[in-house]
Amino acid sequence: MRSVASQYALQAQCKLALYRTWARVGLSAIRPAGAVATLFLVSIGSGGCSISRSDGAFAKMDDSEVTGSIASGQGPAPTETDLAFARNAASDVLTKGDKDSSQPWENPETGARGSVTPLAQAYSSDDGRTCRDFLASYVNGRRESWLQGAACKASHGRWEIHTLKPWSRG
């Protein structure tokens, strides 16, 4: 069995021999260049994820094709009778004036249904009328879409819907 002092001496000789080997072979000069080469290769490899090709190498899909289990946001367009039911519900919920209230609606002819919810407090329009924005859901079969609208209070106290269109985020 070797003493502790002899083990340290042996380790020092091995380290010195290893250092001489690195210096003799020239590996100490490769170290910075190797780091640069590694960084370069990693950046090229990760940059390849953002390359786009215009030669048709990737699969193309039509707008009618659906992948996954989530249906596309574009549902069937509401009919005029559906919109009339939604407008009546919007007028009713705005007339009530309750904070955080919703009004359901349903068209028995088409089976479409939804609800209307006021979005914010009333505001004054350019012509001095009191107006309010709302969001309406539209469900027909398994499809759902959203409508955004604005209504202003008429002189007789009833709310008149002057905008009702598909909702766009942002």
- H/E element holding 139? strand 130-140
**Domain that residue 125 falls in:** 80-166
Residues 33 and 99 in one domain: no
Please report whether residue 86 resides in a domain.
Answer: yes
How do 130-140 and 123-124 pair as beta strands? antiparallel
Q: State the Cα–Cα distance between residues 8 and 1, nearest whole angstrom.
A: 14
The answer as to whether 58 is a domain residue is no
Query: What's the pLDDT at 15?
Result: 60
| 89 plus 30 within the same structural domain | no
Q: Which residues are bridge partners to 166 per DSSP? A: 147
Give the pLDDT score at 169: 67
Question: pTM of the predicted model, to two decimals?
Answer: 0.54
State both tokens at 145. 């879409």
Domain count, the chain: 2
Judge whether 69 lies within some domain. Answer: no
CA 43 to chain centre: 27
Q: Which tens digits make up the pLDDT trace of 61-98? A: 555 555 555 555 555 678 899 999 999 999 989 888 77
pLDDT at site 155? 81
The predicted-structure confidence for 20-37, as pLDDT tens digits, reads as follows 555 555 555 556 666 677
Position 93 in a domain: yes
Residue 66 forms part of a structural domain: no
Residues 84 and 35 in one domain: no
Average per-residue pLDDT for the chain:
75
Residues 29 and 103 in one domain: no
Would you say residue 87 lies in a domain? yes
pLDDT for 149-158, tens place per residue?
999 998 887 8
Residues 84 and 162 in one domain: yes
Q: Are residues 96 and 31 in the same domain?
A: no
- Residue 107 and residue 162 in one domain: yes
Check residues 6 and 41 and name the one with the higher pLDDT: 41
17 and 88 part of one domain = no
